[in-house]
Structure 1
Amino acid sequence: MVNGVWYETDTPSDVLDSLVETARQLDRVKGDVAAWKWAILSMFGAVSGALVCHLSGSTQTGALATRSQTKTLAALEVRDGSAVIPDPYLASPLDLLRRSLSRRNRESPAVRICVSFRKRTAFKRLLVFRNDFTHFKPQSWSIECSGLPTIFQDVGAIICQISQDGWSFRHMTDAQRKELAAVLVEIEARLNDLADQYAKLS
């Protein structure tokens, strides 16, 4: 028996956990604008994980960086099992989005997603915010919060589309899928409330 406290997760579960945390932080935002930082980090984690789920097929290489993908596939082709599978190295977030939009060279059987220019722009803006918070430089800066609800709604629409493809979250339990659908609705409602709140202040 292994003693201790263990946290066990996987990519689909982490998407759900990240969305639950996003909803929690959006609730905090009403009284503490600094909570947007944690909402940004968790929301970007959710959409990145959803793209990984969308792209990953039976060999789990569809979301890997090109070199990592090539090395992994080569190792998998060694029939005697002597090859060492390299540590996976994920493609960049922008590459994940591009691959999900493309019909070419897909490992996953999931149908490509259709994302408008506005939603792609929202994804890129959220990525910039996430990078700035994750790699905080010796500087001060500010974010116009009134635009964040729309950015979050556009990014949430990407996750929603992926959740309906029948492939990406196939390993989730029925309970997890129901919770995923519910938390996406909850996030949308909280974003609408925040958008109304900011509109009254403008």
Structure 2
Amino acid sequence: MSATTTQPLTLEDFLHLPETKPANEYISGEIISKPIPKGRHSRLQGKLCAAVNQVTEEAKIAYAFPELRCSFGDRSIVPDVAVFTWERIHFTADGEVPDNFELPPDWTIEILSPEQKPNRVIGNILYCLQYGSRLGWFIDPDDTSILTFLPGQQPELIQGENYLPILPEIKINLTVNQVFSWLKMGIS
């Protein structure tokens, strides 16, 4: 009886596969499917993108992309929100947004879904920081807390009325309570 061996899938091979919904990520040679975003996740993702883009897009400071594939090092991940400073977006010759982002975001934001493993999600944030991201947020809607990551520093758990770290060029101030208040859509 002969043994059949299969070659592990490379990042290049993975990037040639068709996109899926929900998105697949490529981590350490393994394809991992992200869960389909549910209500709280979608609401926080949309509001975070809108809050950042409202103060950064017109002035060409930065842009927050929802569910953007970022491929760098030996991973291809899809952060819930990927914020890039304007000068790091490699626009096409026509001035359009490129399809492929082969660099880590300046600020990566992950919103924990019930089906996700926290350590795997935090692992992606740490990987981004290792490759040059300047800020990471890990949002846990069940705990109403945000774990923040800055390069070379211990993570910090932020709750309540405490302000969150934001890239210095992005002029917004947000507390944890403000972020989670976005979930209360049914209250006037």
What's the TM-score once normalised by structure 1's chain length? 0.27
Q: Which has the larger radius of gyration?
A: 1
Q: Indicate the structure whose relative CO is greater, using CA pairs within 8 Å and at least 6 residues apart.
A: 1
By percentage of residues, which structure has more helix?
1
